[in-house]
Amino acid sequence: MPKLSINDWMISPSIQLISKITEDESDHYYHDHNFFEIFYVLSGTIIHNCNGKKETLETGDIRLLRLKDKHSFIRKDNAPCSHRDIIITEQLFKKSCDFISPSLFEEINQRREPLKSKIKQTKIVEFEKEFSKIFFMPAQKGIHTKETMANILSIELLNIFLQEFQPQHSGLPVWLNNILPSFSAPILMREGLELILKDINYDKSYICRTFKKYIGCTMTEYLHAQRIDYAMSLLLTTDKTIAQICEEVGFQSIPYFTTSFKNKYSLSPKQFKLNFFNR
């Protein structure tokens, strides 16, 4: 089994965090490495085989792999998928852990399973902007250096997984807490409320009333917001056309999608993308 070395990736010894986007089958072989790795799925679905256990990951799924973890990716039927891979040296990872808690590094390494979480599309876009800054920024002195940016980003990424160490006291009914992630799952989001609620055996009026009580909006409004967020992420992280994005997020009409997008971001999808990359 091959072991990837940090020396295969590092460009400069002073910058202990680097990243790349993987879109092909170069990730298919089972391997481990002498660095910590965090990756999140940008688009599509993929099977992740980690320590012999397989799970299907989709947009927004994020995982933290330790030195002892072995993994590979399986692209079923050549399904398109892209994921952002972040390589962090053991030195920087421990430094980031110690910044949060002196015991965190040991706790992460002693867990039976790697840490896992899910991030929203808006958070993906934020991270993509940060990686663009690090990649393109010129060498500078003072506090605004690539090294400093990498240190900060390492801590931000680590913070995502801290909920795994906290007891869950959301106060939401169990059924509601369980279905909320379904609203941001691409396949369920595209199909709509009928599929999201198919396993909930409560009266529809009770479901609607309870959802609005705890979440503060209707299920339709909440789903609509998730679709717009996901569309924004696809717009900035893929080359999909507006028509393709509409279909993927569940909008039946391009004009309606454009109007909805403009209501939230004050720009049309095309203008938003141009403005983002020009800025």
The answer to which of 4-8, 41-45, 135-139, 208-212 has the lowest mean pLDDT is 4-8
CATH homologous superfamily for 174-278? Homeodomain-like (1.10.10.60)
Q: Torsion angle, CA of 199/201/206/208, rounded to 10 degrees?
A: 20
Q: Where are the beta strands (DSSP E) in the chain?
A: 3-4, 17-22, 32-33, 36-50, 53-58, 61-65, 71-74, 81-88, 115-118
Question: CA 267, CA 271: separation in Å to the nearest integer?
Answer: 6
In this structure, what token pair is assigned to residue 189? 């989001």
pLDDT band at 227 (very low <50, low <70, confident <90, very high): very high
Beta strands 115-118 and 61-65, pairing class: antiparallel
Same CATH topology for 3-165 and 174-278? no
Residue 11: per-residue pLDDT: 46
Q: Where are the domains of the chain?
A: 3-165, 174-278
- Rounded Cα gap, residues 110 and 154, in angstroms: 20
β-bridge mates for residue 115, sequence order: 64
Cβ atoms of 261 and 232 closer than 8 Å: yes
- Please tell me whether the overall predicted TM-score, pTM, comes out greater than 0.75 for this model: no
Give the residue-averaged pLDDT of 20-46.
Answer: 89
CATH of 3-165, one of 3.40.50.620, 3.40.50.1400, 2.60.40.420, 2.60.120.810: 2.60.120.810
